Structure 1
Amino acid sequence: MILTQCAVCATDLGLTLGKKCGRCSTRYCGPECQVQHWKEGGHDQLCKPIKKAGGAEQYNANKKYSEAVTVAAEACADDTKGQTCYICTQAVHRHTKEGLVRMCACRGTSGFAHVSCLAEQAKILVAEVEENNLGHEAFNERWTRWYSCSLCEQGYHGVVACALGWACWKTYVGRPDADSARRLAMTMLGNGLSEAKHYEDALTVEEAMFSMQQRLGDSESNTLVTLGNLAVTYQALGQLEKSLSMKRDVYSGWVDLFGEEHPETLREGINYANCLVQMLRFKEAKALLRKTMPAARRVLGENHDIPLEMRSMYAQALCRDPAATLDDLREAVTTLEDTERTARRLLGGSHPVAAEIEKSLRIARAALRARDTPGSA
């Protein structure tokens, strides 16, 4: 996680409290902990290396990035045997010696790469925009390389997304708080940590991001993005009531800003419906999805991930509702069969979205068989 705690006693310091080592910027709650760390915690040996690396936050980011790359390469090892990086054409990176990864929607022999090659590619593309003043639209287009594959154009997931989150953060962490790339990198890191299911660490990053946005007076749309990410993390941590309240507010905020058919509004609609389903509030979830699904199909097309996830969520709400009729169960199965075929074609069977739809389909079919069986309740 980013450094928001005292290095000795772990007191929460946010982004501004406490004091820092004058040489390397390691953070402490006060002089007592700083002295203890120097005398007993090994900081006398680490201080110079940390300073040489660019300071405590940079040193931590570099270390976490290396660890995340190792985890990602190990997780992809079976899939990447005998393959080479589509960027540098090597199996093992010539400098870092890291292995290959692939956690996007590429299949067959496509999409294998080193995390460091993907990161360098994104870094160069963003730097070109900044150096040549190509504008906001070009910046946003190039920035997608930090989180999506240039071949299949689908987002990375799992531990590869986490490694790229750390890669992005270590690239821009040294910039001022108000710098847009640094703030986007913090968002990338939080999302990557969530993808790897490191929810407590993601919460720390997202809370720090929200605090910084409040301090700097960030735009309402940027703040809504962070609040939406926070709400998803709270749900993953089991804080459902808090998550639901935030998701309702975030969804309403996007509606007020950009209307009901904006892509971000539609995505937050999925998140809101997901929490409603988890809390067994099926009637509300179905009502919301009936309203948003036609807009998603009209604006984004049938093959976009948002309409796919909406249809899957609607089928889950139909199937899991204790008041579901036989026709409801049949509709759920038909819907999931269709979305499962589309997800497999677009994303591949191993993609988490496709795998989740397949799981929901198995559950819906079992429920339908149980209801269809003569003599069943």
Structure 2
Amino acid sequence: MANLAITYNSLGKFNAAEQLEEEVLSLCKKVLGNNHPHTLTSMANLANTYESLGKFNAAEQLEEEVLSLYKKVLGDNHPDTLTSMANLASIYQSLGKFNAAEQLQEEVLSLHKRVLGDNHPDTLTSMANLASTYRSLGKFNAAEQLEEEVLSLHKKVLGDNHLIH
């Protein structure tokens, strides 16, 4: 069911994905409990679909809950916790809460560097996300500096011919 919902999401069938993800989440809570990692993944998937549907307030509320539970269940430094933090920052960005997004993205970047290292692709993605928020905040010099660093590291890590999106 979860895989079909992900496929619906990939096809842009967000309403179908939402309906199926809500059903998956309900079943996960019933069978596995509220704090099981699969339940948390189901919640995160639903929050992502809410964001895709433009239901930003619902996405924010659910992703904040997911983040709180990931920290409780898996700890502050677990990759799923860091992904949840990055997802929440994305929702903040969508809501125009750029200062909150910036603060969270700076924390995500710091944790990625500490946990995964400076050259890990997730660290580079965190840097690029933060640079985007800097642009949204009009911090163009900081964005430029960070983007130049990201580009340099991407070339170093992935090579000159790797496509960067």
Q: Return the structure number with greater relative CO, CA threshold 8 A, min gap 6.
A: 2
Partners of 1:267 and 1:306 within 8 A in 2:
no
Return 5+ residue gaps in structure 1 as ranges. 1-185, 356-377
Which has the higher Rg, Structure 1 or Structure 2?
1
Q: Distance in 1 between matches of 2:32 and 2:79?
A: 24
Equivalenced residues, count: 161
Give the aligned partner of residue 94 of structure 2. 278
Does residue 223 of structure 1 match 2:39?
yes
Deviation at residue 305 of structure 1 after TM alignment: 3.5
Q: Distance in 2 between matches of 1:194 and 1:334?
A: 35
Deviation at residue 300 of structure 1 after TM alignment: 1.5
Specify the SS of the correspondent of 1:197: coil
Give the aligned partner of residue 123 of structure 2. 307
* Corresponding letter in the other structure for 2:162: G
Partners of 1:247 and 1:271 within 8 A in 2:
yes
Deviation at residue 201 of structure 1 after TM alignment: 2.5
Q: Distance in 1 between matches of 2:80 and 2:19?
A: 23
Q: Distance in 2 between matches of 1:284 and 1:343?
A: 27
* Corresponding letter in the other structure for 1:301: G
Specify the SS of the correspondent of 1:268: helix
* Corresponding letter in the other structure for 1:212: L
Give the aligned partner of residue 260 of structure 1. 76
**CA deviations over 1:256-310 (Å, ceiling 9, x no partner):** 1122111000000110000101111111111112222111112122343322222
Does residue 330 of structure 1 match 2:141?
yes
Return 5+ residue gaps in structure 2 as ranges. none
Structure 2 length as normaliser, TM-score?
Answer: 0.85
Q: CA RMSD in A?
A: 2.1
Deviation at residue 343 of structure 1 after TM alignment: 4.7
**CA deviations over 1:193-244 (Å, ceiling 9, x no partner):** 3233332232232112112113324452211110011001100100001101
Deviation at residue 318 of structure 1 after TM alignment: 1.1
Structure 1 length as normaliser, TM-score?
Answer: 0.40
Does residue 204 of structure 1 match 2:19?
yes
Q: Distance in 1 between matches of 2:2 and 2:124?
A: 24
1:1-377 map, 5 Å: 186-218=1-33, 220-321=36-137, 324=138, 328-343=139-154, 345=158, 348-349=162-163, 354-355=164-165
